[in-house]
Amino acid sequence: MHTNPNRRHVLAQGAALMGATASGLLLPQHVLAQSGKIRVGFMLPYTGTFAQLGVAIENGVRMAINEQGGKLGGREIEWFKVDDESEPSKAIENANKLVQRDKVDVLIGTVHSGVQMGIHRVARESGVLSLIPNAGVHMATRAQCAPNVFRASFTNSQPTMALGEAMVKRGHKKAVWITWKYAAGDEAYEGFKESYTKAGGTIVKELGLPFPNVEFQALLTEIAALKPDAVACFFAGGGAAKFMKDYAAAGLKDKIPLYGSGFLTEGTIEAAGPAAEGVLSTLHYGDGIDTKRNNEFRLNYAKTFKMQPDVYAVQGYDTGLLLIQGANAVKGDLSKKADLYKAMEGATIDSPRGKWTMSKAHNPVQDIYLRQVVGKENKVIGVAAKALADSGAGCRL
């Protein structure tokens, strides 16, 4: 068959190929020099439906750090990024890219609660400092809380915990709840159910559709048949815009008032158009918060990034502020974990949303605002709940 030179040739080529491949895999993507820089890793959605949010969060973090000189505790920063594609099945793998491969000191992420569960696993196993700029999944600051995990955003039930009373106060005592059937939707419902029934309201029916399905027609018809005083919901992103539009097109808007967890109207007002007008929601932020801090923040953000900030940008910004406070307290030496955590636990964040502090379970204790869509923005019409803390049930911190 083949003569000897061929075999040797193949062996040599094969070995070369193997060697090249192996070393290609072995050689770290980013040279791990002893640079003395703090490694900060972003694990955010840079593609897919939540891409806008990922960008806003990163913008916020960077802005906070740049405002304070671009360093953390006096040390320079090396940035790393991984696109989590909002894909829970790749979450652990992606988180490990930052933690095991790039050896980051801080992991900032993410948006999607399902992906967060994966990050959380890796954070607990590896002990890396994990800062959550959005995902509201309860367990991260409840049953599975950890000393190295801090959240700068909210828990899924915080906004809706403030919604119940607001609705009953305005005379809407019989409501239908509708959302997507996944962790975020279920947890939002938890907060609504508790606050609404406590305030004296009755939930006529709980409707749900699989995430991220947006064919609402069938369920809207059911809502009309049930004739509640109001409808409360949790939707976010494109689906939220569509829901508001379908709600209006079905003629329900003027007959049955629509309330929602604030994400209903975050970043979706342009897409929903006039259908969003007048929709009430509760959230820990509102574009129209008329304080010096917020106005300054909004101006600077718009100047730097040529777009308007939203709650995601604010959360990113606050994450940056939190990290800065921690890093300053340990003068940039993030290995001093006990001091680092203590500083972050005791931090007061002077945020555009208002000042907030950390709960024992490492979640923000914050004011929740009642907002109404007027024109193109969420106008803050009141405070629905002051200094609201998540229960932190099951956390042993």
Partner 1 sequence: MSAPQIHIEALPRSVQLVLLLGLLALAAFPFVGSDFYMSMVNRMMILAIFAMSLDLLQGVTGLVSLGHAAYFGIAGYALAFITPANEPISLYASLPMAVGASALAALIIGFLVVRTHGIYFIMVTMAFAQMVFYLFFDNKALGGSDGLFLNFRPDAVLIDLENKRVFYFFTLGCLVAVYFFLRRVLWSPFGRSLAGIRVNEHRMRALGFGTFRHKLAAFTLAGALAGLAGFLWAAQTGFVNPELMGFHLSAHAIMMVILGGMGNFAGAIIGAFSFEYLLHLFKDLPAIGNFNTGKHWQMWMGLFIVALVIFAPKGILGLLTRAFAKKEASDD
Partner 2 sequence: MDFVNFLIQLLNSVQYGLLLFMLAAGLTLIFGIMGVVNLAHGSFYMLGAYLAWSLAGMLGSFTLAILVGTALSVAFGLLLEKVLFRHFYHRDHLDQVLLTFGLIYVFEELRSMLWGDDVHGLQVPEALSASIPLTDTLSYPVYRLFMSGICLLLALGLYLLISRTRLGMKIRAGAFNHEMTEALGVNIKLIHAVVFALGVGLASIAGMIAAPVSSVYPNMGGQVLIMCFVVVVIGGIGSVRGALISALLVGLVDTFGKVLLPQVSGMLVYVLMAAVLLYKPEGLFKQ
Phi, psi of 377 (to 5 degrees): -135, 165
Between residues 226 and 365, which has the closer beta carbon with respect to partner 2? 226
Residue 86 — left, alpha, or beta (φ > 0 → left; ψ -120 to 50 → alpha)? left
- 93: partner contacted, choices partner 1, partner 2, none (Cβ within 5-8 A by kind): partner 1
Position 124 contacts partner 1 (CB under 8 A): no
Between residues 48 and 147, which has the closer beta carbon with respect to partner 2? 48
Cα–chain center distance at 256:
30
Between residues 15 and 307, which has the closer beta carbon with respect to partner 1? 15
Position 200 contacts partner 1 (CB under 8 A): no
Tokens of 76: 């320079």
DSSP at 101: I
- 48: partner contacted, choices partner 1, partner 2, none (Cβ within 5-8 A by kind): partner 2
Q: How many helices (H) and strands (E) does the chain have?
A: 13, 14
Between residues 187 and 266, which has the closer beta carbon with respect to partner 1? 187
In 317-389, the DSSP E strands lie at 348-351, 354-358, 364-374, 377-388
CB of 7 to partner 1, least distance (A): 7
- Would you say the C-alpha torsion 138, 284, 275, 296 has a positive or negative sign? negative
**Residues of span 208-247 touching partner 1 by CB under 8 A:** 210-211
Single-letter amino acid, residue 322: L
Give Cβ neighbours of residue 325 (< 8 Å, ≥ 6 apart).
343, 344, 347, 349
Tokens of 19: 């060697």
Interface residues toward partner 2, by CB under 8 A: 47-49, 51-52, 208-210, 214-215, 217-222, 224-225, 227, 237-238, 241-242, 245-246, 249-252, 255-256, 267-268, 270-274
For partner 1, the binding residues (CB under 8 A) are 1-3, 6-7, 10-11, 14-15, 17-18, 21-22, 25-26, 28-29, 46-47, 83, 87-89, 91-93, 96-97, 100-101, 113-114, 117-118, 121, 181-183, 186, 210-211
